[in-house]
């Protein structure tokens, strides 16, 4: 800053020095000579030219208010610009000649998958836009009629969230069994072999789009009862109210049912889409890092106290560095 000021002063001195050099040196005053007498000149008539009227100066322009840039639309309004999810799924069914069953509770607006390569990628692109929504291919018995959408969705949701890895229920009086096995690996020719099974199944699947978790389905039901739509923005207070209801229900359960509820909750979390689990962990880590040091220290102390109360001792110390 001092160097810049000195440069400005030096520049002003250089600019003013020629003016000082042009000033004459002071001399003794000399009486001015008498001015010569000049006869007044005769007035010359003005030429015959019409005089232009003198217009008043234009009024100063009023300053215009700056044009404010268009406000950024909230995320909810951007969602409203999409298409109805049920209509989009209907269009996909017509385009790829599919039999699609939609969860009656499903509402919202999505962007149509215009660059999808096949039916699976189109359904993936739609279901990713609404949290908690997924789709499955369902094969029905050969002699079975397609049930109502609500019934079929409830069946599929129950199977997807079933805790057991495998189960056979036998009816000894009639020599009949009901079996369930999770995540069985099948060959690429699986669909062609369905008609040869005993009992036989239909080789043409039904594509079921539904809320995977019952809590999300209950949430959609509550929103419909209150006159809202799933496409509208949710608030943290709405989720907190649902969590409070779940906590009250949990406290009313007997001890053995609480254990089952915990196991089912863990299994439900493990069955979540990996991207949803990653999002939950990232949000939790972001919340932890945004806490103040005092809040973070208090949370850690409360965690250690809970561990001591449950285990009867302090938590194990972390391993020493280099081990």
Say yes or no: 107 and 141 in one domain.
yes
pLDDT for position 65 = 47
pLDDT for position 196 = 84
| Separation of alpha carbons 276 and 267, rounded Å | 14
- Pick the last residue of a domain from 248, 272, 296: 272
Say yes or no: 210 and 290 in one domain.
no
Q: Are 217 and 211 in contact (CB under 8 A)?
A: yes
Q: What pTM value is reported for the model?
A: 0.48
Say yes or no: 209 and 93 in one domain.
yes
pLDDT for position 309 = 76
Q: Which residues form the domain of 138?
A: 75-161+200-216
- Band of residue 311 on the pLDDT scale cut at 50, 70, 90: confident
Say yes or no: 148 and 251 in one domain.
no
pLDDT, mean of residues 300-317: 74
Taking only the tens place, the pLDDT of each residue in 76-103 is 444 456 889 999 999 999 999 999 999 9
pLDDT for position 26 = 47
Say yes or no: 148 and 82 in one domain.
yes
Say yes or no: 212 and 291 in one domain.
no
Residue 50 has pLDDT above 80, yes or no: no
Residue 267 has pLDDT above 60, yes or no: yes
Question: What is the total count of domains within the chain?
Answer: 3
Say yes or no: 97 and 210 in one domain.
yes
For the ranges 45-49, 199-203, 257-261, 263-267, which has the lowest average pLDDT? 45-49
Say yes or no: 125 and 204 in one domain.
yes
- Pick the last residue of a domain from 182, 216, 250: 216
Residue 117 has pLDDT above 50, yes or no: yes
């Amino acid at each position: 800053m001092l160097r810049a000021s000195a440069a400005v002063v030096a520049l002003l001195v250089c600019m003013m020095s020629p003016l000082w050099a042009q000033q004459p040196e002071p001399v003794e005053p000399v009486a001015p000579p008498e001015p010569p007498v000049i006869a007044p000149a005769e007035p010359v008539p003005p030429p015959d030219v019409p005089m232009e009227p003198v217009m008043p100066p234009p009024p100063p322009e009023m300053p215009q208010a700056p044009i404010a840039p268009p406000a950024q639309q909230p995320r909810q309004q951007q969602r409203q610009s999409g298409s109805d999810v049920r209509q989009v799924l209907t269009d996909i069914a017509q385009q790829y000649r599919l039999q699609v069953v939609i969860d009656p509770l499903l509402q919202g607006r999505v962007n149509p998958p215009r660059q999808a390569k096949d039916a699976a990628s189109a359904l993936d692109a739609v279901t990713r836009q609404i949290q908690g929504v997924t789709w499955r291919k369902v094969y029905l018995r050969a002699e079975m009629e397609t049930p109502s959408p609500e019934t079929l969705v409830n069946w599929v949701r129950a199977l997807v969230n079933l805790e057991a890895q495998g189960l056979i229920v036998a009816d000894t009086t009639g020599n009949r069994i009901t079996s369930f096995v999770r995540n069985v690996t099948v060959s690429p020719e699986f669909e062609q072999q369905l008609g040869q099974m005993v009992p036989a199944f239909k080789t043409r699947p039904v594509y079921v789009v539904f809320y995977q978790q019952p809590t999300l389905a209950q949430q959609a039901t509550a929103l419909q009862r209150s006159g809202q739509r799933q496409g509208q923005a949710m608030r943290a207070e709405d989720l907190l109210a649902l969590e409070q209801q779940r906590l009250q229900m949990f406290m009313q359960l007997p001890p053995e049912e609480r254990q089952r509820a915990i196991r089912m909750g863990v299994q439900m979390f493990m069955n979540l889409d990996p991207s949803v689990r990653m999002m939950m962990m990232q949000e939790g880590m972001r919340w932890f890092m945004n806490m103040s040091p005092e809040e973070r220290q208090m949370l850690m102390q409360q965690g250690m106290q809970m561990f001591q109360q449950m285990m009867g001792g302090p938590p194990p110390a972390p391993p020493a560095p280099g081990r």
